[in-house]
Structure 1
Amino acid sequence: MTDDVQTSRFRRTLTIGAVAVSAFALAACSSGATDGGDADAGAPADISALDVIAPADPGGGWDQTARAVSAALTGDELVGSAPVTNIGGAGGTVGLASLATETDFQTVMVTGSVMVGAVETNASENRIEDMTPIARLTQEPLVIVVPADSEFETVEDLVDAIVEDGPQVTVTGGSAGGIDHILAGQLLVEAGVDAADVPTTLNYIANSGGGEALTMLLGGTSMVGISGVGEFAESVESGDLRALAVSSAEPALMLPDVPTLQDEGIDIELTNWRGLLAPGDISAEQQQALVDLVTEMHDGGAWTDAVETNGWTDAFLTGDDFQAFLDEDITLTQETLRTIGLTS
């Protein structure tokens, strides 16, 4: 394969979240959603309460999303209660394993780009494809930050230091193989590091939630952080952290003065999406009831306020459109992980 073809293939994976709706994708759907499943298959689809799983420890983007969903559902009186349970570990795959054993259809779990990557790098027995897709909710750019007194003034300074000093430069973010890790790897490949050398050049310290990464940065145990804008924005605004760049094509709503990677001459665009899954073995009626409930939540004032407050971008998808997006995102993530040397 020529360098030009490799570059083309690599750059095609940079915007994870591009939707290519094929006939196969439109036909695809969760096995639990089509065959009726075993979990309360004959139960009424009325939803009076909803359990919400955040597959990460408190403080990160999944936790923020789960609590925003809970607050919107109860704030607009769509359900009587929507308790949040944190099940952290292994990039969300511990939570995914828990969802796989759930027998109550009135349960949803936050998912997103990080989990798509973690399923691959952890060789998870439970896969997103085995669950029932409900909705994609939001997307959010990532931000690269350093402590306020860091020697790194630009992303170029940072990348040059990693290329020269390798593991001496510590980078922290979400789970291994997740979107934060992917962005760090992409920065090195874009700088000319061979994909096979990325795992040994990059000293990436994985965490199960954004709160842990923030603690490491503020405590001086990591030199660089990568996460969703919403997880670091408050610390950037307070002056505890400095933002070097965001990964979106346009400036982030919460950090409008921070340049994009493309502004810095780095041809990378990458956004983190988040959405909801339900257990795999539920009926089509139960899936539709969950979709209807989440659609009503999305259209309500409480959720609209949460999206604005957190600086998220609305990216709502349900049904075949969300299924097609998932199929494409999983395929592109698999290709990207191979490209940057994180999977074989």
Structure 2
Amino acid sequence: MRRDQFLKSALALAACGALPMSADAAGVLKMMIPANPGGGWDTTGRALGRSLLDARAADNVQYENKGGAAGVIGLAQFVNQAKGDPNALMMMGAVMLGGIITGKPPVQLNQATPIARLTSEYNVFVVPSSSPFRTMKDVVAQLRADPASVKWGGGSRGSTEHIAACMLARNVGVDPRKVNYIAFRGGGEATAAILGGNVTVGGSGYSEFADHIASGKMRPLAVTSQKRLSGIAIPTMKELGYDVILGNWRGVYAAPGISADDRSNLTQAVMAATKTKAWSEALSKNGWTPAVATGKEFEDFVEYEFSSLRAIMYLSGMV
């Protein structure tokens, strides 16, 4: 039996717990994380890596962080260096789509191979505990009075928290082009800036701020979900009177130029990982909503997201 046929069969058995994957069958997977350590992509990528090991769909997982430009720098390196590699994966998500729309880079996402959407979560806006702003209404009042005085901190330009800040500005009658947004290369840098009082308001996925909120170092103001997050007492932007609902999803792509069998094998490996105890624990710990989609469903979703984000960013004055 050919190695790729064996791997495909073994992965299917491993997914239902019928067969431990051997090191020879699984091998080493290389995970490109196109962001600096400490952010959402880093957390998700490493959780996926642990789950691939738990599923015995890999013998070892090697990680590389390459932050900048909303993941586009990491995307460019991945496309140029991993071509044809059946053991390479790259984290991505809504933030990367926003970066591609605003940056118009020469390397495009469709040069890589879509594998799966994994999770969805919503942005939460926070202030440091020492902030004089107690509520989002306080922030909005200051935004209306002097937009430049409100420094919004988060991921790269075009990130979901950047888009949400512009949506809020437009919603309350402020020119979105006046939003004073400060972009950071990774979640760790953004968190340090928020805790240090170097930005007025910070935004990111709830999982990135959860520990600091629990410790009292950050005060949550609002979340961009349709309804309140389960078990978390943070008001939504909608219930506060602001029409700002925006989700942040994450997924994984494979290298350009791999075969159909290689794509199938990697998809089965990722699906096996999402059925493990390690992945279930990661979902619970980080407050992620499972949003698994593969194949054409995932491809169509990404295409729709590009169109939707372009419209939102245009209306928000970002493009």
| Matched residue, 1:52 | 31
Which of residues 141, 147, 158 is equivalent to 1:177?
158
Alpha carbons 1:136, 1:273 under 8 Å: kept: yes
After superposition, give the CA deviation of every residue in 1:86-137 in whole Å (9 maximum; x if it has no partner). Answer: 0111110001001111131211111001000001111111111221110000
SS at match of 2:60: coil
CA distance in 1, matches of 2:3, 2:151: 51
Alpha carbons 1:108, 1:276 under 8 Å: kept: yes
| Matched residue, 1:85 | 64
1:166 aligns with 2:147: yes
Map 1:1-344 to 2 at 5 A. 44=4, 46=7, 47-101=26-80, 102-103=82-83, 104-193=85-174, 197-199=175-177, 201-253=178-230, 256-343=232-319
CA distance in 2, matches of 1:67, 1:340: 33
Alpha carbons 1:99, 1:278 under 8 Å: kept: no
SS at match of 1:163: helix
Alpha carbons 2:54, 2:276 under 8 Å: kept: no
Alpha carbons 1:298, 1:304 under 8 Å: kept: yes
SS at match of 1:242: strand
Deviation at 1:43, TM superposition (A): 8.4
Alpha carbons 1:229, 1:252 under 8 Å: kept: no
Alpha carbons 1:137, 1:274 under 8 Å: kept: yes
> Over the residues paired in the alignment, what is the CA RMSD in angstroms?
1.5
Deviation at 1:164, TM superposition (A): 1.2
| Matched residue, 2:15 | none
CA distance in 2, matches of 1:108, 1:208: 20
CA distance in 2, matches of 1:213, 1:337: 22
After superposition, give the CA deviation of every residue in 1:21-65 in whole Å (9 maximum; x if it has no partner). Answer: xxxxxxxxxxxxxxxxxxxxx984744221111100000000000
After superposition, give the CA deviation of every residue in 1:268-326 in whole Å (9 maximum; x if it has no partner). Answer: 21110000011121111111111111111112222111111111000000011101101
CA distance in 2, matches of 1:91, 1:249: 25
**Contiguous gaps of at least 5 residues in structure 1:** 1-41
Count, aligned residues: 297
Alpha carbons 2:55, 2:272 under 8 Å: kept: no
TM-score where L is the length of structure 1: 0.83
CA distance in 2, matches of 1:219, 1:192: 30
Structure 1 window deviating more from structure 2 (123-132 vs 239-248): it is 123-132
| Matched residue, 1:23 | none
SS at match of 2:202: strand
* Structure 1 stretches of at least 4 aligned residues deviating more than 6 Å after TM superposition: none
| Matched residue, 1:34 | none
Q: What amino acid is the match of 2:247?
A: T
TM-score where L is the length of structure 2: 0.90
CA distance in 2, matches of 1:243, 1:107: 37
CA distance in 2, matches of 1:331, 1:325: 10
CA distance in 2, matches of 1:317, 1:133: 10
**Contiguous gaps of at least 5 residues in structure 2:** 8-25
